[in-house]
Structure 1
Amino acid sequence: MQKSLTLTFIPGIMRWSVMVTVFILGSFTLLYANNGYSQLLQRVRVTEKFENESLASCVKKLESGYRISFGYDNQELLRYQVKKLQFVNERLDKVLQALLENTPLIYEEKNGVLLIVKQAPLPLTNLQQPGPGKIKGIVIDGEHGIPGVTVKVTGTKYYAITNADGQFELILPAGNYKLQFSFIGYKAAASPEVKVISGAITEQNMSMFVTMSRLTEAVVIGYGVQERRSLLGAVATYEAGKAPGQSPVTIDEAMVGKLPGVFIAPSSGVPGSAANITIRGISTLNANGNSPLIVVDGVPIYGIDPNLNTVDYNKGSSSIFSFGGNQVVNEYRQPTTFEKNPLATLNPDDIESVEVLKDAYSTAIYGSRGSAGVILITTKKGARGKMRVDVQVSTSVSKPRKLPSLMNGDQYADFYNNVFHQKDSIGKAASSWYIPNNYTFPKGVNTNWLNEVVRNAMGNNAEVSMSGGTDKTNYYVSLGYNKEQSYIINNDFTRYQGRVNFDNQMTNSLKVGVSMSLNQATNNSLSAQNVYRSAVQKAPNLSVKDSTGNKYNWLHGNNPTGPEEVSNPVGEATTGKNYSTDNRVLGNVFAELQLLPWLSAHSDVGVDWINSRAYDRIIDRPGVIGGSATETQQQLRKWVINNRLDMHKIFGDGHAVSAMLGQSFEKSVENVNSVHGTEFLNDDMLSIATANDKRVVNSLEQQWAQVSFLSRINYEYKHRYLAGVTYRMDGSSRFSANHRYVGFPSFALGWVPSEENFLKGVKAIDQLKVRASVGFTGNDGGNGYYGNQGQYVVDVYGSSYGNTSTIGNKQPANPNLEWERTTTWNVGTDISLLHGRISATVDYYRRQTSNAILQSALPYFMGFDLQQQNRADLVNKGIEFSISSENIHTENFQWNTTFNISGNRNIVVRLHQIDEEQLAAENEISGGRFWRVGHSATAFYLYDWAGVNSSNGQPQWVDKSGKTSEVPIQKQYPDSPYTNRKYMGDAMPVVFGGFGNTFTYKGFELNCFFSFSAGNKMYNGAKAAMYSYLGSSYGANNVYNLSSDMVNYWQHPGQKTDIPALINNSNFSQAGFGSSYDYTLDRRNNRFLEDASFIKLRSLLLGYNFNSRQLKGTKVFTALKLYAEANNLFILTKYSGLDPEVSAYGSSALNMGYDELTMPSPRTWRVGIKASF
């Protein structure tokens, strides 16, 4: 058991936080009155979001939230609907103008009250003869009718307003008229001319589309919101609520390739498995520190952390096992771990938007956890109006895009009979140590193991949500079910979820609410990867079951030798039982108190609680007598308390200031307990209590806490000049008292040339903004919870004396351990053209990390293995570009395009106080990966393979001097394992991004999206494994099944091939140990290093939206959409493997670039329906 730290400063901080919270919630309410309404209209600043609610509701919000007296006819204002308007720190007069735009309403001040009145249309009785006719129609937005649209007759004062279904009628004298359609935030496709015939009905329908400029959108930032046009930081937004019909298992799946600077790649094709999410490159040299902080509705959650999300379901270990060093030098060992995706417990359909904070000005407000970037997830909320019910149902089928081409049973037997009866270089039979004389591999059975375990995987998704509100209360409630089968038999992923988002305006000044979700995710696919690997490597000359047909063929069956670790994949998939179930409660409760029109207080208390149970059961079989079982229970508990004051105020002529002052406290407690049992009486027994031999294999409790003080101030002058400062101080239990507290400031400036006189006349430019920022952030993810303290473990070497456990030293204390510190410079430009039809952003950044924390080896005489130390510096620099355009927009046809591309270069610039090669030896992640100054942290350093000598079939090698030899470099220089390796490329791409197009014609919609990556390398360990016929570190040769390419091995002089002679100078058998070694399969040479650049058609969707006229007859639906979607349809790449995006080592960006028979992402077809009631 790891020693637990007593956090002596936690109770005092918690008491302090609670006192602040109680003080704010119980603060006094100030009355505000001022009859100088002309000044009030200029002085009051409004920050509000109005969406799908009546004009009456909007005015009531202004009344209650800003203590303004209005006079109006409530029934009249109920006739007008506000689709979507957002204001951040905007003057009250500007807000009223926007609200009343495109309506026949005006506002005026009378006796200290703001009156909202309308100009009545002229009575129809005044119409001149000839007799009148009628115009009728419906106004739609592509999906359903729009209520509250004003339909004006140009040149007259006649108008109509559409009803709840978007319908309108006008009675006019015969003649020709031009109609004008107007609605807040919308634009009509045309202003049609209509001929009215006396006594007849003329039909005129109209389509409208959203025209709200992105400049006025409110962007979620850390601890607040800000209008996009005033934004000083580099923030990328994914509008999940507007995604075209997708039903992804996790939200990161939907975001791949869509955000500049955000690299996302699935680690494998296993449902619910972890993804690699990296923002602007590698920020630290610790595998656990490169994932961004994820915040859901203000709660920092347990995010992408291999230490928390990896379960060793066979051994009961809760932390990730490092598949590094010698384990992958010659061959990759089959793991017993599975890294879960923490976002798999979140329902993507509940998510409204995702903001990604990238530069220091945006992330410094999160201080010590901001250097790897921050992802802010905002869930859907309700809005005033009648209840709306949304339902989405979809079903899908998935299968691998392609599978490996392998030998059949007869080819396999012929190949190995040939191998084991050849002579090696010293004249002995290569098989003489472990194969009986004249024994051969049998023929006649041809089992395609992949066909036995791979299936068409079905998926089903069902979501229902209800939303609405009144003048004071808004609500959003959802329930969801998702089940995704793996394409490996008997493996699947299931999720149940429920969410409640609720807020209530209790008084004119006090608003309270709750945002809470309950989710359960069960993954029965923990061993899918192992089953897939076994299906590739299992000998094909063995039948699925033995001659009786009752028992599975385990181990190597009738073959004279074989790897015992390759089990029967069908038996493993069907007889075993393994799963992981996560129950998660995530959310917060909050209160907002309006102290003054320009000052408010906000407090919230959030939680992220996860209960996880992982279970694995192996039945009785050869090598596992009596069977075995492992069960792991994990509890994660996090509490967050936030308190802040927000201020928005205008001074003088055009001076605007917004500020925030806050405090945050966070505490996490984590418990893990694992038990293991063997020798069960029968295979039906599942409880470990019934095992003959049972033991606790892991017991761990750890905790940490952090207290923070934060502030931000933004200044703006006439939307032309912008400035901002943020500061956060963090105190963390992860560091000693001398280094516990540290501050993280940031600074930003902005200039909007489009507000200058010399550009104001250029109508094509909506806004041109230039911004620059510099700031400091930190990273405490690589430090662990007790990185500065001495640590102890029980049975450090697995030994005990007389059944008495021993305690050993694991890590000495390091009281001088300091925070990692990252400095980021960012320069960016934002431009919007042609009333928002074109918008683009460009950013250049340079980010330097100092004092990167590494777990470094210590001299043996100290009595310790490792210690956390500040050892390295590294730099990332890059450029990002994104553009979106509305290419065509007519009444019936629209075409929109998005494109983004990012480039990043990562460099290790210094390795403190230690020889580079020594550091490499200590921290080698995998066979060809270590760190060297001047190159990336994900660089490959490999021996140079030069192909096959066609005259004799011998492998050839090139040393650093350029000399070619048939002797492996490793054998030539056995004492210099690093100096003779060359830089061969990088696992991180040089550039990556995505581009998409959306076409709509009347009700039809076609959306296609491509993602791409260029310049990255992948080590094709899958190919190496399928070429591996000798290498082994166990007591027997591999004799795995092989690629069908292996029949083309060199056999005669002059033959051109890339596969050497079977027995050559680069492989050997070691007498007395029964093991073999093949240098050509060593992961430290570049034989299997390949270009993994690609372009992938990630999604293709065809849908049809029924309009309100079509739905009118149903009297049920207000919106209805049918769609068909395909994912991963095709890929263009030079990579010879199955999927250039996979990562054998899970979510860690440091460990990416290895494909070790990793399950590829499937191709998926889906059909679905979305309906609103």
Structure 2
Amino acid sequence: MEGLYANNRDYPYAEGTRNSVNWLENNEYILNTQTTAGSFYTNLNLTKELEMRTVIGANILTQENNEFRNSVLDNNAVARAQASNEKQTFWSIENYLTYNKEINENNSLTALLGVSWQQSNQFFVNADSRNFPTDFFKYNNLGAGSDNIAVQSFADREALNSYFGRLNYNLYGKYLFTVTGRADGSSKFGDNNKFSFFPSAAVAWRISDEDFLVDNALISNLKLRTSYGVTGNSEIPPYSSLSLLSSNYATIWNDSRVGGTGLNRLANPDLKWEKTAQYDIGVELGLFDNRISLEADYYYRKTTDMLLDAPVPQSSGYATIRRNVGSMQNKGLELGLSTKNIMTADVTWNTSFNISMNRNKVLSLATPSDIFGVGGPGITNETSIIRVGEPVGAFWGLTRLGTWGTDEAAEAAKFVSYRNGLTILPGDIKYKDFNGDYIINDEDRSIIGNGYPTAWGTLTNYVSYKNLDFTLELQYSWGNDVMDMNLHSSEDRQALANSYTTVLDAWTPDNQDTMIAQVRDTRAGYVTNVDSHWVKDGSFVRGRNIMLGYTFDQNLVEKMHLNKLRLYASAQNFFLLVNDELLGDPEVTLFVVVRATMSSLKG
């Protein structure tokens, strides 16, 4: 191949982003995945009322990942190849003993006892090599590379043992009682707290079966239910309670670099399960022979012993330790409405609507200090904060007021530089100086957004006419913020990389009422901070699914020796309406920090 690809790096002082066509044609990335999964079960009827069920399952995942970047990719520089292999194995054994007893016409109970064991193992190995004498070998002969040969591997294991029981009691078909209890033990926790116990209880009253409502023409179903229970969370990496060895230590001995191995994390033998206690009360209401159905639930969850990395004194030699650090609450309301709008021999029209509202707040932490660095991407200053009294993962940053104008030059020059040590000038980003000390630093950062929506839900309509059917499903969310971190590279770093068209609104002497800094030579420096300009309204309405189908007549289908024949066409995510302009989807956009970042902490 003759000639060279044009790249971003060809522009003076720009960063080295590669040409997209060059990347596609001269980088080979192959991922081969092989999955083997299976399960086996037995049911033994020990007596008429007693049954034993055993389920054995296994899953083996093997992945081979090979990558080769030829010498053309970096304009006739050295080629690079790497190969990795990963194997994950999972197995589980579950045993259930179930007792069903109908005491009499009005009393019945079901009792269950069970035990479960499961284990996961993972092994990964990777080799990387560069500077090949020829591109012919690719990743098939890593030893042919002469430079920067690196090999790494790791292995981990985790196991979970569970012992559980449940008792259901039914009285007159309208008074329902459930009690459960389970003891779970995880290898991830400290030696002192491997196991924990999680109880729950529920009561339901089917009021519509009472004598005073049985034949009611208006109310066809009325059920009141409430429950209380405790659940556990063990979603942390394996060995989180242990000190780990690291070989990233080095020293100089006899004028030579000598590698070493040491501890890279503090142990915590008291690390234990995160627990969430939940109380809820709900009602189910059916009207006009269930033509209208309403469900309403109120819940309150309190999570204690949250699993987070907490700071430790610098004198310890470490930055953090995995601890159970505090508590938080989630409380909310969930409503669902279903209606049968039309019900005839040929036409059916059903509608369902649901809405959920949740309010999250941190109640306490192990120390009065705020916690940073949870859930952020790690490419900028901190993006979120955990603070008592605030929602988990509230967005944290500076407040961008706009840009400095020419008539503010003297005031801007008073600030300690936050642009490469150079004097702050008209056209630079202007931040709010909360304490008035003319220094923009951590003292001027505050909570600038909340990733939790005010409400979210779906609206679905199903219509059928004879054999033809149509489904339309809409999804919505409003009141939540998203942090669009694409603006870091695509708006703030203008002369270094490709930018959004929003930089066309950058500051000029004739355009000073703008949030975008003046476009300057890279050597003049640039300003980029997590700030309020990156926070956007994440509200949206999405066309989640639309489907049109036709079911063929059963007589015709039987003549074709088929059980059923249906043709349909569908589309997902067929439109998206947003308030603020975002690149892509407000739920899944790359480098957008959304409420999902903290989903594991919501309880």
TM value normalised by structure 1 = 0.46
Give 1:950 deviation, angstroms: 6.1
- What's the secondary structure of 1:768's corresponding residue? strand
Q: Which has the higher contact order (CA 8 A, sep 6+)?
A: 1
User: Percent identity among equivalent residues?
Assistant: 25
For 2:62 and 2:362, the matched residues in 1 are separated by 39
Residues 183 and 197 of structure 2 are in contact (CA less than 8 Å); yes or no, is this contact kept in structure 1?
yes
- What's the secondary structure of 2:372's corresponding residue? helix
For 1:932 and 1:600, the matched residues in 2 are separated by 51
Q: 1:356-390 CA deviation, whole Å, 9 max, x = no partner?
A: xxxxxxxxxxxxxxxxxxxxxxxxxxxxxxxxxxx
For 1:1143 and 1:593, the matched residues in 2 are separated by 50
For 2:593 and 2:510, the matched residues in 1 are separated by 46
Greater shift in the superposed pair: 575-584 or 654-663: 575-584
Q: How is 1:59-78 mapped onto 2 (pairs within 5 angstroms)? A: none
Give 1:700 deviation, angstroms: 1.1
For 1:922 and 1:642, the matched residues in 2 are separated by 35
Provide the aligned C-alpha RMSD in A.
3.2
Flag the 1:952–1:1058 CA change in 2: closer, same or farther, 3 A.
Answer: farther
> One-letter code of the match for 1:595?
L
Match of 2:34 among 564, 583, 586: 583
For 2:570 and 2:252, the matched residues in 1 are separated by 56
Give 1:849 deviation, angstroms: 1.1
Does structure 1 residue 1088 correspond to structure 2 residue 534?
yes
- What's the secondary structure of 2:509's corresponding residue? coil
Give the match for residue 1115 of structure 1.
560
Q: 1:547-602 CA deviation, whole Å, 9 max, x = no partner?
A: x9643223423x333111x1111111222111333322233100001122221111
Does structure 1 residue 1101 correspond to structure 2 residue 555?
no
Q: How is 1:335-414 mapped onto 2 (pairs within 5 angstroms)? A: none
Does structure 1 residue 572 correspond to structure 2 residue 17?
no
Give 1:1029 deviation, angstroms: 4.0
Q: 1:591-644 CA deviation, whole Å, 9 max, x = no partner?
A: 001122221111111112211222222111438832212222111111111111
Q: 1:402-450 CA deviation, whole Å, 9 max, x = no partner?
A: xxxxxxxxxxxxxxxxxxxxxxxxxxxxxxxxxxxxxxxxxxxxxxxxx
Residues 485 and 591 of structure 2 are in contact (CA less than 8 Å); yes or no, is this contact kept in structure 1?
no
Residues 126 and 152 of structure 2 are in contact (CA less than 8 Å); yes or no, is this contact kept in structure 1?
yes
Does structure 1 residue 786 correspond to structure 2 residue 239?
yes
- What's the secondary structure of 1:1010's corresponding residue? strand
Match of 1:665 among 117, 136, 141: 117
Residues 796 and 809 of structure 1 are in contact (CA less than 8 Å); yes or no, is this contact kept in structure 2?
no
For 1:640 and 1:607, the matched residues in 2 are separated by 6
Residues 617 and 628 of structure 1 are in contact (CA less than 8 Å); yes or no, is this contact kept in structure 2?
yes
Give 1:1121 deviation, angstroms: 2.3
> One-letter code of the match for 1:811?
R
For 2:158 and 2:592, the matched residues in 1 are separated by 25
> One-letter code of the match for 1:619?
N
Does structure 1 residue 881 correspond to structure 2 residue 335?
yes
Flag the 1:562–1:767 CA change in 2: closer, same or farther, 3 A.
Answer: same
Give the match for residue 746 of structure 1.
200
> One-letter code of the match for 1:1122?
L
TM value normalised by structure 2 = 0.87
Match of 1:862 among 316, 340, 343: 316
Give the match for residue 399 of structure 2.
944
For 1:848 and 1:813, the matched residues in 2 are separated by 27
For 1:1109 and 1:732, the matched residues in 2 are separated by 57
Residues 250 and 260 of structure 2 are in contact (CA less than 8 Å); yes or no, is this contact kept in structure 1?
no
Match of 1:1050 among 486, 492, 507: 507
> One-letter code of the match for 2:41?
F
Give 1:997 deviation, angstroms: 0.8
Give the match for residue 1137 of structure 1.
582
Match of 2:453 among 981, 989, 1000: 989
Q: 1:297-346 CA deviation, whole Å, 9 max, x = no partner?
A: xxxxxxxxxxxxxxxxxxxxxxxxxxxxxxxxxxxxxxxxxxxxxxxxxx
For 2:509 and 2:440, the matched residues in 1 are separated by 35
Does structure 1 residue 631 correspond to structure 2 residue 95?
no
Instruction: Name the structure where helix makes up a greater proportion of residues.
Output: 1
> One-letter code of the match for 2:529?
D
Give 1:972 deviation, angstroms: 6.3
Q: 1:36-84 CA deviation, whole Å, 9 max, x = no partner?
A: xxxxxxxxxxxxxxxxxxxxxxxxxxxxxxxxxxxxxxxxxxxxxxxxx
Match of 1:592 among 30, 36, 43: 43
Give 1:970 deviation, angstroms: 9.2
Q: 1:1119-1141 CA deviation, whole Å, 9 max, x = no partner?
A: 32222222222222112113222
Give 1:978 deviation, angstroms: 4.3
Q: How is 1:121-270 mapped onto 2 (pairs within 5 angstroms)? A: none
Give the match for residue 560 of structure 1.
12
Flag the 1:788–1:607 CA change in 2: closer, same or farther, 3 A.
Answer: same
Unaligned runs of 5+ in 2: 416-428
- What's the secondary structure of 1:743's corresponding residue? strand
Match of 1:651 among 103, 107, 118: 103
Residues 243 and 266 of structure 2 are in contact (CA less than 8 Å); yes or no, is this contact kept in structure 1?
yes
Give the match for residue 674 of structure 1.
126
For 1:881 and 1:967, the matched residues in 2 are separated by 42
Residues 857 and 922 of structure 1 are in contact (CA less than 8 Å); yes or no, is this contact kept in structure 2?
no
- What's the secondary structure of 2:213's corresponding residue? helix
- What's the secondary structure of 1:636's corresponding residue? strand
Give 1:1062 deviation, angstroms: 4.0
Match of 1:769 among 208, 223, 240: 223
Give 1:1015 deviation, angstroms: 0.7
Flag the 1:561–1:734 CA change in 2: closer, same or farther, 3 A.
Answer: closer
For 2:29 and 2:572, the matched residues in 1 are separated by 28
Give the match for residue 305 of structure 2.
851
Residues 1023 and 1137 of structure 1 are in contact (CA less than 8 Å); yes or no, is this contact kept in structure 2?
no
For 2:151 and 2:594, the matched residues in 1 are separated by 26
- What's the secondary structure of 2:268's corresponding residue? coil
Flag the 1:560–1:739 CA change in 2: closer, same or farther, 3 A.
Answer: closer
For 1:609 and 1:799, the matched residues in 2 are separated by 44
Flag the 1:716–1:759 CA change in 2: closer, same or farther, 3 A.
Answer: same
Flag the 1:648–1:942 CA change in 2: closer, same or farther, 3 A.
Answer: same
For 1:1133 and 1:1147, the matched residues in 2 are separated by 16
For 1:970 and 1:809, the matched residues in 2 are separated by 41
- Structure showing greater radius of gyration is 1
For 1:921 and 1:587, the matched residues in 2 are separated by 40
Say how many residue pairs are matched: 575
> One-letter code of the match for 2:79?
G
- What's the secondary structure of 2:60's corresponding residue? strand
For 2:512 and 2:211, the matched residues in 1 are separated by 75
For 1:1044 and 1:555, the matched residues in 2 are separated by 17
> One-letter code of the match for 2:68?
R
Residues 952 and 1053 of structure 1 are in contact (CA less than 8 Å); yes or no, is this contact kept in structure 2?
no
Instruction: Name the structure where strand makes up a greater proportion of residues.
Output: 2
Flag the 1:952–1:1128 CA change in 2: closer, same or farther, 3 A.
Answer: farther
Give the match for residue 61 of structure 2.
610
Q: 1:727-760 CA deviation, whole Å, 9 max, x = no partner?
A: 1012222223321221111111111111111111
Give 1:802 deviation, angstroms: 5.3
Flag the 1:774–1:1147 CA change in 2: closer, same or farther, 3 A.
Answer: farther
Flag the 1:1109–1:679 CA change in 2: closer, same or farther, 3 A.
Answer: same
For 2:26 and 2:479, the matched residues in 1 are separated by 43
Greater shift in the superposed pair: 827-836 or 595-604: 827-836
Flag the 1:970–1:700 CA change in 2: closer, same or farther, 3 A.
Answer: farther
